Structure 1
Amino acid sequence: MKYRIFLSAFFLILAPTLSHAEYRVFLLKITKKSADPQNPSQDFRLVESTLDHIQYHYYYPVGADEEVTYIDTWRCYGRTGDFQTLCPNPKGQIPQGENAAP
């Protein structure tokens, strides 16, 4: 009986503190489709989101003349609640002029 109480207390109190959350950030490019295929449009915007290029259409308004393209993705650790900002892209953290390899 005591074993069952101890096991229940472990799962209710200690297990949530040991778990770690993570999420994925996607860099999306939203481009206006051009009516002329010979002269493609250069009008675009970059968006960082936790939704991929397929899911983004269902949650945010995207015009019929706009196309959402997947550019990059990276993993972040922690929670996304309480409107916290998304973690930055770690690939952009390395200075271009320095060589990280010895």
Structure 2
Amino acid sequence: MKYRRLLSAFFFSLIPMLAQAEYRVFVLKISTSAKPSEGQDASENTEPAFRLVESTLDPEQYRAFYPVAADETITYIDTWRCYGRTGGMKPLCPNPKGQIPSEENPGP
């Protein structure tokens, strides 16, 4: 009976060491629809303006958490998994694929 308790205590002490935190980073493209102004020709500026944002929120969560204009669309570009915690304002882990360089200040 003593061995059973000792063995149970040993396994319960290992559980916190085996648990690891992880999170997912998303690269979101937030673009505005290009509408020509009154004095501007429609053929001059047809490319929509956009910005890339690295976030731990997916597109739906990002729109609910941050203010996004009604004419802006959020498109998912890339994602990867990171190990560890994000507490203490730690920076997000870099993209292991190396496709999109990390910005100095990715937040809006």
Structure-1-length-normalised TM-score: 0.75
Shift of 1:18: 1.5
Please give the alpha-carbon distance, in whole angstroms, between the structure 2 residues aligned to 1:67 and 1:40. 16
**Contact kept in structure 1, 2:33 and 2:48, CA below 8 Å:** no
Provide the secondary structure at the position in 2 that maps to 1:42. Answer: coil
Q: Which runs of 4+ in 1 moved over 4 A?
A: 36-39
Cα separation, 2, equivalents of 1:48 and 1:33? 21
**Unmatched segments (≥5 aa) in structure 1:** 94-102
Does residue 66 of the first structure (1) align with residue 67 of the second (2)? no
Once the 2 structures are TM-superposed, how far is the Cα of residue 22 of structure 1 from its aligned partner?
Answer: 1.3
2-side partners of 1:73 and 1:34: how far apart? 27
* 8 Å contact from structure 1 (residues 30, 67) kept in 2: yes
Q: Please give the TM-score of this superposition, normalised by the length of structure 2.
A: 0.71
* Percent identity of paired positions between Structure 1 and Structure 2: 61
Distance in 1 (CA, whole Å) between partners of 2:57 and 2:77 is 13
Write the letter of the residue equivalent to 1:63.
A
Q: Is the counterpart of residue 88 in structure 1 residue 94 in structure 2?
A: yes
**Retained in 2: the 8 A contact 1:33–1:40?**
no
Q: Structure 2: how far apart are the matches of 1:5 and 1:65?
A: 63
- Unmatched segments (≥5 aa) in structure 2: 37-41, 100-108
User: Does the 8 Å contact 1:28/1:47 carry over to 2?
Assistant: yes
